[in-house]
Amino acid sequence: MFSAPVLTQVLINGLSLSAIYVLIALGFTLLFGIMKVVNFAHGSLAMLGGYALHYYFGEFKLPYVVAILLAGLTVASASMVLEWLVFRRFYQKMFQSMIGLLGLDIAIVYTCVLVFDVYERSIPAALDSMVAIGSVSIPADKLMIIGIAVVVLLAFWGFMSLTRYGLAVRAASEDIEIAEAQGVNTRRIYQLAFFLAIFMTAIAGAIYAQTYALSPFMGERPLMVAFIVVILGGMGSIPGAALGGVLFGFGESFLSTFYGSAASTFVSFGVVIALLVVRPWGLLGKPER
């Protein structure tokens, strides 16, 4: 059971799952860390990314890399309208945001049911070929997904740690009032963080929809993933989201390969509940107060 092809498969699956999960969770944790909103509409925004990729890549036949970046940009730009209409009313109101954004989630999902339909669609794979490394062959589109996610994550990391705006975003996530007192334009930072968060979520959703299936209701699972990863790593902590995503991605890949998907779900939920009970602020978060 632990032969080289199987282990490679576990490794590659783990990497591609981790890539998706980290992207989803980073968006979620950014919104939570800076604006203190629990984004229950996260899954439906990821779903919109899936539809955008479906049109750009599946219908308009753009090159894959262009299509997926364009999908992220489109959804992120369009959701700036939602930011103005809905999200900004819930900033720094954690409790109200949960239920209000749940409403937004329902509204987006059923609008998509009206605009598209309820049936599942599939997005064609980016590449059909297999890459042979030694004795094992790996589907090339998995490598492509991993590559794209790594590039986006590196760009995000570079932006956050090397630019002035990244510094302002980090300052705002540490302490919003002090950041404001230092002359950070919080309204602008909110919009910037929101845009980045939704950009990453939409790209993750696009990859997710391509790996599994695209339907208006597909957002439930990414939302669950965002919860689990963010709780694992610590709510609001950016390195925590990365660590949690990798742990959860590899854990799921390993468990579902050897013990089935039900076992993997039970274990991951169980671990998260146990962690919430003993250490609610997660692995890398910091306790409140």
Residues at the interface with other proteins (CB under 8 A) = 38, 86, 89-90, 94-111, 113-114, 220, 224, 227-228, 231, 235, 262, 265-266, 269-270, 272-273, 276-277, 280
Our CB check for other proteins shows the closer of 121 and 160 to be: 121
Nearer to other proteins, 60 or 266 (CB): 266
How far separated are the first and last CA of the chain, in Å rounded? Answer: 48
| Nearer residue to other proteins within complex by CB, 59 or 117 | 117
Nearer to other proteins, 1 or 277 (CB): 277
Q: Kindly give, in sequence order, each residue whose CB lies less than 8 Å from that of residue 101, ignoring residues fewer than 6 positions away.
A: 37, 38, 39, 40, 41, 86, 87, 90
Which residue in this structure is represented by tokens 């300052």?
Answer: 171
With both helix axes pointing from N to C terminus, report the angle between 64-85 and 140-162 in degrees, rounded to the nearest 10.
50
Q: What b-and-e string marks burial along 8-28, b requiring 16 or more CB atoms within 10 Å of the CB?
A: bbbebbbbbbbbbbbbbbbbb
Least distance to other proteins from the beta carbon of 112, Å?
A: 9
Shortest distance, position 244 Cβ to other proteins, whole Å: 13
**Closest distance to other proteins from the beta carbon of 61 (Å):** 30
Closer CB to other proteins, 122 or 261, in the complex: 261
CB of 257 to other proteins, least distance (A): 18
Characterise 215 by phi-psi region: left (phi > 0), alpha (psi -120 to 50), beta (else): beta
Residue 27's closest CA among 229, 176, 265, 180?
Answer: 229
Question: Min. distance of Cβ 234 from other proteins in angstroms?
Answer: 12
- Closest distance between other proteins and the C-beta of residue 124, in Å? 28
Smallest separation (angstroms) from other proteins to the CB of 91: 11
Ramachandran area for residue 214 (φ above 0: left; ψ -120 to 50: alpha; else beta)? beta
Which residue number, 51 or 90, has a Cβ lying nearer to other proteins? Answer: 90
Torsion of CA 257, 14, 48, 267, to 10 degrees: 60
User: Rounded distance, CA 48 to CA 71, Å?
Assistant: 9
* Cβ nearer to other proteins, comparing 51 with 227: 227
Residues 6+ apart with CB under 8 A from 117: none
